A and B are shown apart, each in its own frame.
Chain A
Amino acid sequence: MVEARKAWEAKVAELQRQRDHLKLEVEMLRERLATIRLQSQASSLEKEISELESTKAALETELAGVEGIAVVAKAE
């Protein structure tokens, strides 16, 4: 009986050790995943900003062309 009890106590202690270790691992993985998600989100935003800046530059160029034509027409 005493032997069996000691065996169960050892099993409980080992499981508690495993649980504590896994809790730490899970906590670290959650943080890592959150960081990766933020990095991915930041990258997407940077890409979107770059695309918007390109569009803006193209529009400004187009607008300058249109304004140039208008000035010439008025002068004539």
Chain B
Amino acid sequence: MARCPSCGAAVPTPAKTWTYLEWDREKTGLVKKDVGVFECPGCRTRFPAVASREPLIIVPAQKIQSLKAAAEEAHALVQRLKAELARKEDQNATLRENIAMLELQIQALQLEQEVGRLREEKARLEEGIAAQA
């Protein structure tokens, strides 16, 4: 947003814009600037102002291609790792389920043994009572 140099009013949008590149030796180097001609809605003054600026870095095309390829490779790797993680999580869930089943089976086995012992003791006691009677 620009301000009118005559009345100080805010002018949100330019009437006309164009882009150009400028070499800024003191700062980052190349700068892309969008320059606009603004017209104050109050006093009708027309004035130029920079709408936006973006510093640019000059990179060889080969380097850009190489970076793109590396990014694509990294993206593919991330996808592969995500798929692998999902598979491992599935395996984990299955293993947890198997463990729970085994724990139940062990508990059932222990209970069966305990029930067997109690049945034997019950039979012995009944025999003892019959012998006393």
Chain A positions within 8 Å of B115 at CB level: 15, 18-19, 22
Q: How extensive is the interface on chain B, given as a class?
A: 20 to 34
- Chain B interface, >50% SS class: helix
| Contacts of A35-72 to chain B: CB distance below 8 A | 36-37, 40
Chain B positions within 8 Å of A75 at CB level: none
A36 touches B122 (CB 8 A): no
Q: Is A33 among interface residues, defined by CB-CB distance under 8 A? A: yes
| Contacts of A4-20 to chain B: CB distance below 8 A | 4-5, 8-9, 11-12, 15-16, 18-19
Q: How many residues of A are in contact with the other chain, CB < 8 A?
A: 22
Q: Is B73 among interface residues, defined by CB-CB distance under 8 A? A: no
Q: How far is the CA of A18 from the CA of B119 in the complex (A)?
A: 10
Closest to B105 in A: A8
Chain B positions within 8 Å of A26 at CB level: 118, 121-122, 125
